[in-house]
Structure 1
Amino acid sequence: MSDPTTAAPASVLFVCVHNAGRSQMAAAFLTHLAGDRIEVRSAGSLPAGQVNPVAVQAMQEVGIDISTAAPKLLTTDTVHASDYVITMGCGDACPVFPGKRYLDWDLPDPAGAGIQTVRTIRDQIEHHVRQLLTELPLPTTN
């Protein structure tokens, strides 16, 4: 039996098409809430050139800065290196590997949406992330 204080942290990958809104917000929430107890990644099947500025604004409103985040391309290696893969609209672009836990969060795409809509999406993402935290194996801290 492994010691949870020395075991490698679980790895979570958030995926959406452009990696510019939903997956960036989800990764930021999980990093904010779990710190280094979880390895967090995000990626997109067709990454945008930058993170959605309205998503940046919505996250700043809750004290989380994603202004320096950059969209990343989803790769097979990234999925393979993750324990949990959470999709948010990437469909069949996500490779499936045995032994991974896949979840699909049905969330609207914030692209082109105003701040009120993005706030609602942000709050839905935070709810999902907090629920996910109750399910993840977290190493204990001393």
Structure 2
Amino acid sequence: MKCYGIMPERKLWVKIGIIIFGIYTIYNSAVNNNFFYLPFGIIMILVTFSERKHIISQEGVDIIYTICGFQFHNIWNWSEINTIHIDSISSKPNVELHIGKDITARRFILSKNDVDKALTITSKMNSKIYIAELKKRV
């Protein structure tokens, strides 16, 4: 069983702005013979064509980045996760799960049905994870 996070769509004006800034960075590095910044311009352009997926499954919590057809996984196994905080206020009508590993946290936005499935998976895979509900907005 897998639960997929809800990913907000990147706005068109943001994509265009990043592409223009990437082209400017490449142009400026070529004109000034400062090729240190050339990879940053290329990476900025490639990022606009990337996609990201949040997945909660029996293997753990995974973020899949797809850049130009290549997939990169950034997975946390259930044995590495310490805390899960449930925030039902910030992203209404959806629910945010703040999944913590040591001092790092990932924010997943899920539907209410998927949160129940994710918590069921969590309790099956690692019963030592501290789960708490955030009561008020900070």
Larger radius of gyration: 2
**Which structure would you say has the larger RCO, counting Cα contacts within 8 Å and 6 or more residues apart?**
1
When normalised by structure 2's length, the TM-score is 0.23
